[in-house]
A and B are shown apart, each in its own frame.
Chain A
Amino acid sequence: MSSLSKAFTSSIGRKYVMGLTGLFLITFLILHVSINALIFANDGGETFNIAANFMSHNIVVRILEIGLFAGIILHIIQAVMLTAQNNAARPEKYAYNKPQANSKWYSRSMGLLGTLILMFLVLHLYHFWWPTKVAVFSHEEHNTFHGIVAIFQELWVVVVYILGVISLGYHLLHGFQSSFQTMGWNHRKWTPVVRTIGIWFSIIVPIIFALMPISVYLGWIS
């Protein structure tokens, strides 16, 4: 194996991939949540649909979308491989362990939270991504805003979306600052800033996401 490929398959190298893909997905979330927030213009979806149509039809965005899926898949593959190694590193478990004494539950549950997010993502893609793909390839008109209003009429869907973004929030609460630490960006002046931004990001972004189904369900937006 060459030195470069060794760099990516070592313990630290795999963590770089986790951290970098995680940061990449965080930048995607900023874009996603910003476009979502356009529904709060409450103009019957006019502003939102302009953005949504641009995102689903623009050729540059569609190429970037491939990169996004590659990022998600890489993040998942590395997580599975790292988790397998981590489990193998302790074949016999403790009879009595008290991990809550030294670390946060969400820091220890990134795999579980990630799995919940993935399950949510499957439903989410079926709801909103798949219909736009059908529209793009059949050259039909597609009104994403109408889709949103129709889908969030059911209470169970709203609840699942809220649970999905809560999982995302806790995943980010650990992941945001953790990716900086993994990349070695730890600094006595800057790390407290990164941690503070990470906490606010993990709270504000899921709240804005959750406000969409809630607002539609309660009829604030139509």
Chain B
Amino acid sequence: MSTGNMNLTLQVWRQKNSKSAGKLVDYKLSEISPDMSFLEMFDVLNEQLITKGEEPVVFDHDCREGICGMCSMFINGQPHGPKDLVTTCQLHMRSFKDGDTIVVEPWRAKAFPVIKDLAVDRSAFDRIIASGGFVSVNTGNAQDANALPIPKLQADAAFEAAACIGCGACVATCKNASAMLFVSAKVSQLALLPQGQPERYRRVQSMVAQMDEEGFGNCTNTGACEAECPKGISLENIARMNRDYFTAKFASEEEV
């Protein structure tokens, strides 16, 4: 399957489980095609390791088309590598040079414990969603389209926030391991739409409380999350969440 001409040195984080200490291990790879995705390059590495009877590198991946948010590799100091607006599966080896050394680490955050090697446990995000990132609507037939008038700008902003795939790159790159970009996208996508209004101020309080409980850090507005987000989620969402949280805590009478 190796058909290219790139020779690479990989330094990959190997860690047995969440309890044991990990370390970077060097692997030499040759004849890598520049047209391979970064994950396909890892597939080549793992096939080599299996052939040699060694334990393959564990890493998360699923759709391999840039929409699921599973592939969580911290590549040469950046989540999902050097390219903007891509996940690891959409990063190709042509973004690197022959002879490069590439350091690959897992997301590092207290709230994202390493499961094994490059795979981390991101269920903290699921618990934040479960704490309020939903609307309580009755099931039944779908409403007619456009039954609820929503201004175009509003609909677009909600859609942009909803593009968040929950990959955790924002947490990974933030110097404080803060989850504010993720949580604010999930708060915003509902706060911007009429369906989200009844639970708007309860939701923001619950989700922020859960975010704090999970042990994520605090936002210092460096903007690193926005720069690294594969879906281009905007810092405007964090400001919106701060605004809603302020209104909820100081103006709403609902205690959460």
Contacts and interface: CB of A to CB of B under 8 A. Distances in A.
A120 B78 CA distance: 35
Interface string B2-28: 000000000101000000000010000
Interface residues of A, number: 43
B71 interface: no
B155 to A, nearest CB: 16
Contacts of B103: 95-96
Counting chain A CB atoms within 10 Å of each CB, the highest count among B13, B77, B109 belongs to B77
Contacts of B212: 10-11
Interface stretch (B50-58, B130-138, B237-245): B237-245
Interface string A66-108: 0000000000000000100110111111111111011110011
Nearest to B234: A186
A178 B235 contact: no
A33 interface: no
Given A86-B175, A93-B108, A12 B215 contact: no
Interface stretch (B36-44, B59-67, B87-95, B248-256): B248-256
B222 A104 contact: yes
B255 A183 contact: no
* Interface size class, chain B: 35 or more
A103 to B, nearest CB: 4
B82 interface: yes
Contacts of A7: 249-250
Contact of B228 (A4, A15, A94, A102): A102
B76 interface: yes
Contacts of A215: none
A174 interface: yes
Contact of B239 (A4, A86, A103, A185): A185
A181 B234 CA distance: 12
A55 interface: no
B160 interface: no
B224 interface: yes
B221 interface: yes
Counting chain B CB atoms within 10 Å of each CB, the highest count among A10, A110, A174, A188 belongs to A10
A98 B244 CA distance: 33
B209 A92 contact: no
Contact of B77 (A13, A88, A97): A97
Contact of A95 (B24, B82, B241): B24
A114 to B, nearest CB: 12
B128 interface: no
B196 to A, nearest CB: 17
A55 to B, nearest CB: 33
B221 A182 contact: yes
Nearest to A183: B242
B249 A89 contact: no
Given A85-B218, A184-B239, 20 more contacts: A3-B255, A4-B250, A6-B209, A11-B216, A12-B246, A85-B217, A86-B178, A88-B110, A89-B176, A90-B110, A93-B108, A95-B105, A101-B82, A103-B175, A103-B224, A107-B220, A110-B220, A181-B238, A182-B242, A186-B240
